[in-house]
Chain A
């Protein structure tokens, strides 16, 4: 008996570390990341980025993109939480990976960083199109900008551009402002305008265009100006996050940038800060929200009733927490709203937050009966979407809940009683008059 329990304890001790080997609901930051490279020298040329990831606790697994033993799943379980594809020229991925398996990977809620470069293959373009991002069809085109290029551009064809048109979001790019411009050298992509899940993180300046730098332009370029996105991001409906970049050099170790036409010279480009903050967002170290259940009750009570009556006063509250990378912190915002919804919102109120992550409000049930839902639909740029609802019926007045005396009818009440009094007085007078 003693031996059995001891061995069970030992075995569970060994198994326990395995439980922390993937992201979970309580710990949404990714753990194991597969990095696919088409050239192992990227490990050293992009060492700052990879070392930064390792120092934050990620398990990086470097593999060549056409390694025949590649697998994302084994026996139905995913082996990795995140995928970085720095293999822009790979035509076919090895092992069991292909465009569909990567799409399934994102569908399961896992994150992806995809980078193309000047020689983006059809496979990479296909994966990007699945996420709503369209690379320039011309395979030899690069982004050229004759006013925002970096003066350290050695080729002189203004393809190394210094971009500073970043998305305004503290969640995605961190609270600290990225002062220096970000160096970029690669292909342009545009976003499908009907897709509302994808948005630009780094856009090109209005003077940029996408064309082959070594040949003369024969016709006006298709992609121009701010429609060109250099780095885009997609947050899927299951909260998987995808970063798509047009340049692999963006992630590399690089320093020193001066934008042409500006006096500021920066010793360090904004690249390192940019990709660090972006990777924090992609791998769910930031901007991940969790909501507790919706709580509602009548004013003055604590239990949740099974049914409300019209014109009841009720109080509603929900707890929302934000993952800080290590722990759940209370979320503070002033734009979370609740709807009291039946086919359309009858009541829409903004919840007021206290510092402990409790959002609450109180309102009166409308004068309509039926089956309503409390709905909290929160979609803020860069944060996970919260979509909560709870159903509750509302009944009309019972026959004994109406007001006893109707104020408009007081004259009629008065008239009836006056008539009775008049009859009483009349009978006395009639009988006893002289």
Chain B
């Protein structure tokens, strides 16, 4: 029983990995960017747990900038992915333009809230 579950987990892992290697490069770049943003957010949360939430607005601003840009990158990935039937008719340039504009608004708000 146990041996079969571990073998299943290993098989699952291998199949995921092989599928992932096959994804297009631009999607992989987006994934890397999302990881970077979430990692930055996690560092900030760890720092707040250490020091306390004194300038809470600065904390929220920092975390939300990372999370917000990650969310926008995920949206970009969804819209640009060719395997996605829903966004077949959407031009990838349009998706990228949306991404850039939303990020500009996000960062404007973030800098204002940062104090």
A residues near B (Cβ < 8 Å) are: 406, 408-409, 411-413, 415-416, 418-420, 422-423, 426-427, 429-431, 433
Any A CB within 8 A of the CB of B47:
yes
CB distance from A417 to the nearest CB of B (A): 9
Residue-wise interface mask of B (27-45) relative to A, using a CB-CB cutoff of 8 A (1 in contact, 0 not): 0011001001100110110
Interchain CB contact under 8 A, A427 and B100:
yes
Which residues of B71-105 have CB atoms within 8 Å of chain A's CB atoms? Answer: 73, 96, 100, 103
Contact of A423 among B55, B58, B103 (CB under 8 A): B103
Which among A408, A418, A431 is the interface contact of B55 at CB below 8 angstroms?
A408
Contacts A415-B40, A415-B62, A423-B33 given; 6 further ones with Cβ under 8 A?
Answer: A406-B58, A419-B69, A423-B69, A423-B103, A426-B29, A429-B29
Chain A nearest CB from B32 CB (Å) reads: 8
Chain A residues with CB below 8 A from B55, complex form = 406, 408-409, 412
In the docked arrangement, what's the CA distance between A433 and B27, Å?
Answer: 12
A214 nearest CB across to chain B (Å): 86
- CB B43 to nearest CB in A, in angstroms, measures 7
Known: A406-B54, A418-B40, A423-B107. A412 touches B62 (CB 8 A): yes
Given known pairs A412-B44, A416-B61, the reply for A422 and B37 (CB within 8 Å) is: yes
A-B contact pairs, 17 of them (CB 8 A): A406-B55, A408-B51, A408-B55, A409-B115, A412-B44, A412-B58, A415-B43, A415-B44, A415-B65, A416-B65, A416-B111, A419-B69, A422-B36, A422-B40, A431-B96, A433-B26, A433-B29
- Determine the main DSSP class of A at the interface with B: helix
Name the distance in Å between A399's Cβ and chain B's nearest Cβ.
Answer: 12
Tell me if B54 and A408 are in contact (CB < 8 A): yes
C-alpha spacing A256/B91, complex, angstroms: 126
Write out the residue numbers on chain B whose beta carbons fall within 8 Å of the beta carbon of A427: 96, 100
Question: Which B residues lie within 8 Å of A420 (CB)?
Answer: 65, 107
Chain B: how many interface residues by the 8 Å CB criterion?
Answer: 32
Q: List residues of chain B with CB under 8 Å of any chain A CB.
A: 25-26, 29-30, 33, 36-37, 40-41, 43-44, 47, 51, 54-55, 58-59, 61-63, 65-66, 69, 73, 96, 100, 103, 107, 110-111, 114-115
CA distance A8 to B12 in the complex (A): 123
The 8 closest A-B pairs by CB, nearest first: A412-B62, A409-B58, A412-B58, A415-B62, A409-B55, A426-B33, A419-B65, A416-B65
Q: Which residues of B contact A431 (CB under 8 A)?
A: 96
B47 x A411 contact (CB < 8 A):
yes
Which residues of B have CB within 8 Å of A419?
A: 37, 40, 65-66, 69, 107
Chain A residues whose C-beta falls within 8 Å of the C-beta of B63 in the assembled complex: 415
Task: Report B105 CB to chain A, min CB distance, Å.
Answer: 12
**Partner pick for B26 among A408, A423, A430, CB 8 A cutoff:** A430
Q: Do the beta carbons of A416 and B96 come within 8 Å of each other?
A: no
Q: How far is the CB of B22 from chain A (nearest CB, A)?
A: 17
**How far, in angstroms, from A418 to B65 measured CA to CA in the complex?**
10
Bound CA span A429–B44, Å: 26
Among B30, B40, B41, B69, which residue has its beta carbon within 8 angstroms of that of A430?
A: B30
With both beta carbons as reference points, the residue of chain B lying nearest to A404 in the complex is identified as B115
Q: How far is the CB of B109 from chain A (nearest CB, A)?
A: 11
Instruction: Tell me which residues across on chain A come within 8 A of B29, comparing CB atoms.
Output: 426, 429-430, 433
Bound CA span A429–B69, Å: 16
- Chain A residues with Cβ below 8 Å from B114 are 412-413, 416
How far is B59's CA from A406's CA once the two chains are assembled, in angstroms?
12
Q: By the criterion CB–CB under 8 Å, are A411 and B33 in contact?
A: no
